[in-house]
Structure 1
Amino acid sequence: MELKPIHQSVAALDVHQAKLTVCILVQSEAGETQCEIKEFGGFKRDRRAMAEWVSSFNPEVVVMESTGIYWKSPYAALEKVGIDALVVNARHVKNVPGRKTDIADAHWLAILARAGLLRGGFVPPQDLRELRLISRQMQKFGSILRAEKNRMHKILTDGGIRLAAVVSDIHGKSARAMIKGLLEGQTPQQVLSYADKRLKASEEELLNALDGELSPAHYFAVSQLMEHIEYLERQIALFLDHLLSGLRDQQPLLQALQTIPGIDEPGAAMLLVEIGFDMDAFGRADKLASWAGLCPANNESAGKRKAGKKRKGNAYLRRILCEIAQAAAKTRSGLADKFKGINARRGRKRAIVALAHKILKIVFSMIKTGDYYRDAKVDYEALQVERNAPRWIKKLIKYGYIPKPA
């Protein structure tokens, strides 16, 4: 079957690290198809020359494969000359086995694009792409920080320090101060003064937990880990400040997203830079969920629906949403009830993914409408009264509206 062309002129790029293969298909007035193929290098001057060459043909459609991160700089070069290219999934344009070359790939891309068979993925605008770099690096720092904290806990346990058995977080203010005191050579009795009075553990329990057998190797390893942990925390704070400053114009939307249980300010900021502010780019909430890789694939045969594995999507967005779902599952809200219902039937992992899917659909609706989240289970009026009633009563008594209690 011959593919019927619907575009007169198209351009297709086969992208590699140090090589760009470009194919131009142009239909003349006589109905003949002219094919132009040219190869460029991967450096800045080559990308600029490629963009100018493609622009000279004035193509209706320009497509390229999403090859790793190599497509980003050619895409930016095309953007500078006013071309919005379509970035397509490589799985959708797979060539015939045994006939794979760079020129053949570019030509096949052009044929499919000319027939209107390719659909581009979501590419955020330039400012959001730059903020994505900040957000994703911050997530990487967070992963390293968690690993370093776990490592320090193991080394302390190896040295006989059982502080994690009596405090909920050994990296809290009191626990960290006590560990630093031990590293400075203080005795367990001396570092006990750093313990906050709100700790549930008794002094005897804390003394027993702090009494270990730390060797010089333990002291060295823990002190180096402590320095690295504090460095990572400072870096994360710097990256977060930069991220929030870049989203200063979106403060109302950031505050609205924080009304969803489980979402704090960093989580709302990371969500926005991944999905953007224009939900028309996705069309529907289910398409956004599919793009994020949070819904199962269709697997039906002979009228029977079978279990389908979820597709690969935006891994960064999926991680953020799963962390939000973990936090929302511990709240008193309708989202927590949904988690409990699915957890009882399908297990925790499936329940977390299902809850993340629901939260993403809520986020889609909130960004599209500009509204805030209202939970069906929460009585907001009663909650406001519960929080403010003691203060109101004190003021009413102070100004004589209510008699003082006997």
Structure 2
Amino acid sequence: MQKALTQMNVQLHKVVSDITGTTGMAIIRAIVAGETDPQILAAKRHHRTKRSETEIAAALNGDYRNEHIFVLQQELQLYDVYQAQIAACDRQIQECLAQFSDKVNLDESPLPQPKHPRNKPQGNEPAFDLRTHLYRISGVDFTAIDGLGILTVQTLISELGLDPTRFPTVKNFTSWLGLCPCNRITGGKVKSSQTRLVVNSAANAFRMAAQTAGKSNSAESCFLSSLTFSPWYAQRYHCYCS
């Protein structure tokens, strides 16, 4: 869709942060329906959009040729098909999660409010309440740790499970993940301390969590600034499971 808009010289991406958001999709669907007046299109902006109608209308002065609108229509239909397939996958995931037994009674121990509430799902986050499912299955709100988002926690639980006894110590756990330094010492001198090359989705999730927390204003950010990020997160996960 972005390519079709560019060919029409419609600079929608410069006035909205995401063309597949509420404002972007409302404008695109109106264009496909036959509307080409920039002022009418700009009036479809969401009330929380930062740009004014005048700014949006200025970006919508383009060359609305029939062939370009046809291409945009084709791309929009494909987008809707993919969204329907993603929704079907989300429903299947939700049904699978519902089959796991509860480790916590939500009535007696309700899930705390998120530390950083959002108005809409972020990235590839599913449309259903994944956080509640993960809390019910694990009995622990892992998202209380700064840097551990809902999708990161889902990856960790699916890859590692919730049984910490498979690893005798935290050191064994970080070694299996390939996050601990692999010191190569010769003559009493450390020649290399790079980590081992390990293809591990859980290790990548810990790295992403550490990078996210390192850029935040949390206490973990100050603590991690002087440490290796990923092993510390692996230790926290191991302790929470215990």
Question: TM > 0.5 between the two?
Answer: yes
The answer to whether residue 53 in structure 2 is matched with residue 203 in structure 1 is: yes
Higher strand proportion: 1
Partner-residue secondary structure (3-state), 2:173: helix
| Deviation string, structure 1 residues 10-69 (Cα, Å, up to 9, x no partner) | xxxxxxxxxxxxxxxxxxxxxxxxxxxxxxxxxxxxxxxxxxxxxxxxxxxxxxxxxxxx
Structure 2: stretches of 5+ with no match in the other structure: 104-135
The CA deviation at 1:329 is: 3.5
2:241 to 367, 371, 376: 367
**How far is the alpha carbon of 1:168 from its aligned partner?**
2.4
Aligned positions of 1:279-294 closer than 5 A: 279-294=164-179
What SS does the aligned partner of 1:262 have? coil
Which residue number corresponds to residue 230 of structure 1? Answer: 83
Question: Is the CA contact 1:294–1:310 (under 8 Å) kept in the aligned structure 2?
Answer: yes
* Distance across 1 between alignment mates of 2:4 and 2:177: 38
Amino acid across the alignment from 2:91: L
Q: Paired residue for 1:191, among 17, 32, 41?
A: 41
Question: 3-state DSSP class of the match of 1:169?
Answer: coil
- The 1:313/1:155 distance shift into structure 2, 3 A limit, reads farther
Query: For 1:163 and 1:180, how far apart are their aligned partners in 2?
Result: 13
Q: Taking structure 1 as reference, are residues 227 and 303 closer, same or farther at Cα in structure 2, changes over 3 Å only?
A: same
Which secondary structure state, in structure 2, belongs to the residue aligned with residue 258 of structure 1?
helix
Distance 1:205 1:199 in 2: 11
Out of 13, 20, 45, the residue aligned to residue 164 of structure 1 is 13
Tell me the distance in 2 between the aligned counterparts of 1:329 and 1:243. Answer: 33
In structure 2, give the amino acid aligned to 1:204.
T
CA distance in structure 2 between the aligned counterparts of 1:261 and 1:248, rounded to whole angstroms: 27
Q: What is the TM-score with the length of structure 1 in the denominator?
A: 0.45
Q: Distance in 2 between matches of 1:321 and 1:211?
A: 46
Instruction: Give the CA deviation at 1:235.
Output: 3.8
Task: Specify the SS of the correspondent of 1:306.
Answer: strand
Q: Cα gap change, 1:242/1:221 in structure 2, threshold over 3 Å: closer, same or farther?
A: same
Deviations 1:233-252 (A, max 9, x none): 31442244135324452416
Q: Of residues 236, 239, 244 in structure 1, which corresponds to 2:97?
A: 244
Give how far 1:158 is off: 4.6
Out of 215-224 and 269-278, give the one that drifted further. Answer: 215-224
Q: Mapping of 1:382-397 within 5 angstroms?
A: none
2: CA distance between counterparts of 1:337 and 1:239?
A: 40
Matched with 1:179 is 28
1:311 matched residue in structure 2: 196
Greater Rg, structure 1 or structure 2? 1
In structure 2, do the counterparts of structure 1 residues 289 and 191 end up closer, same or farther at CA, with 3 Å as the change threshold? farther
* Structure 1 residues 299 and 228: alpha-carbon distance in aligned structure 2, compared to 1, 3 A threshold: farther
Q: Percent identity?
A: 25
C-alpha distance in 1, partners of 2:62/2:206?
A: 40
The 1:237–1:219 alpha-carbon spacing in structure 2 relative to 1, beyond 3 Å, is: same
More divergent stretch after superposition (271-280 vs 238-247): 238-247
Tell me the C-alpha RMSD between the 2 structures. Answer: 2.9
Tell me the distance in 2 between the aligned counterparts of 1:239 and 1:267.
19
Q: Is the 8 A contact 1:290 1:313 kept in 2?
A: no
Q: Distance in 2 between matches of 1:221 and 1:309?
A: 49
Change (3 A) 1:324 1:225: farther
Code of the residue aligned with 1:169 in structure 2: it is D
Change (3 A) 1:314 1:304: same
CA contact (8 A) 2:32 2:69 kept: no
What amino acid sits opposite 2:235 in the alignment? K
